[in-house]
Amino acid sequence: MSIEMLTYAALGARLNISPQAARSLSRRLKLPRSLSDDGKALVSVDLAEIRHTPRPPRGRASSSALLAAKIEALKAEIARLETTATDHRADFERERERADRLAVELLQATAETTAAQEATARLEALKAEIARLETTAADHRADFERERERADRLAVELLQATAEIMAAKEMTARLEALKAEITRLETTAADHRADFERERERADRLAVELLQATAEIMAAKEMTARLEGEVAALRTGGRADGPIDSPEQAARRLGHLAATIVEADRKACR
Each residue's pLDDT tens digit, 152-179: 999 999 999 899 999 889 989 988 998 9
Each residue's pLDDT tens digit, 212-242: 888 888 887 887 888 788 777 777 765 444 5
Identify the residue with better confidence: 137 or 2: 137
- pLDDT confidence of residue 46: 80
**CA–CA dist 90, 19 (Å, integer):** 32
Identify the residue with better confidence: 7 or 55: 7
For residue 41, list its beta bridge partners: 35
pTM attached to this predicted model: 0.27
- Average pLDDT rounded to a whole number, residues 194-200: 88
Each residue's pLDDT tens digit, 8-33: 888 888 888 888 888 888 888 888 88
